[in-house]
Amino acid sequence: MTAETTAGQGGVEPSGPWTANVLTLFPEAFPGPLGFSLAGKGLERGLWSLEVLDIRDFARDKHRSVDDAPLGGGPGMVMRPDVVDAAIEAIVDRPGPLVYLTPRGRLLDQALVREFAAGPGLRLLCGRYEGVDQRVLDAREVLEVSVGDFVLSGGEMAALVLLDAVVRLLPGVMGNAESAAEESFEEGLLEHPLFTRPALWQGRQVPEVLLSGHHEKVRRWRRAQAEEVTRLRRPDLWRRYLESRESGEIDEG
């Protein structure tokens, strides 16, 4: 069998597992919570790999300085382009897009997560202080990504969030492939509510239909619940969902 025939979408089969290369001033932050649970098991089993480099190791002056005051004035410090560039150079041959985590970036959503999971890996640049000198971002054609409209104290937490979302989609990491297909956002809807035993708890009864054993009725009830919660909580998603339903992308089940 040739590489092409095994690669799925016509690309060349990647030579190793899905790989994350992280550039950070806080290498101890990794794998952090990604060392637990299914992501951690996947890491141990070699289903994905993680390499972390300390940006400070690329500082060249005797104080090992990685930052300097913003030109033009203003608060805080800016990460130096020469130091960040040397760190990026160390991972140029590593697989996947180079992503800089920043609140100025494209908002992360499940579609982008799926795209990253389908690729060979990611190279992640975590900023600290006020951010990174713009010139190195331009020179290296960095993809800027935000995990939400709020400001974290650095890119590390954002990188962990992004990696968690991606790694759980990698083949073999999540035991039950169906749970990925049914959860929030897979059809542009938030997920229906979940219940388990006991069926009666503190006077609260589980919805009768879930005890009926009638799979088709359960499926329809869940779909209706997912639509209702999406309509009420996320008018933005609801509008998009209605549009794609009208264009025939989603069947109305």
Contact set for ligand ADE, span 157-216 (CB under 6 A): 158
CA distance 48 to 171: 10
Question: Taking the complex as a whole, how short is the minimal distance between the CB of residue 183 and ligand ADE, in angstroms?
Answer: 22
Residue 148 touches ligand ADE, criterion: CB under 6 A: yes
Among 52, 147, 166, 189, which residue interacts with ligand ADE (rule: CB under 6 A)? Answer: 147
The span of 28-36, 148-156, 167-175, 192-200 binding ligand ADE (CB under 6 A) equals: 148-156
Which residue number, 145 or 189, has a Cβ lying nearer to ligand ADE? 145
The interface with ligand ADE within residues 42-101 (CB under 6 A) comprises 101
CB closer to ligand ADE, 24 vs 102: 102
Nearer to ligand ADE, 103 or 119 (CB): 103
Least distance to ligand ADE, CB of residue 86, Å: 22
Span from 71-79, 140-148, 203-211, 219-227 in contact with ligand ADE (CB under 6 A): 140-148
Asked if residue 24 binds ligand ADE (CB under 6 A), the reply is: no
For residue 14, give both structure tokens.
């990647």
Contact residues for ligand ADE (CB under 6 A)?
A: 101-103, 146-148, 150-152, 155, 158
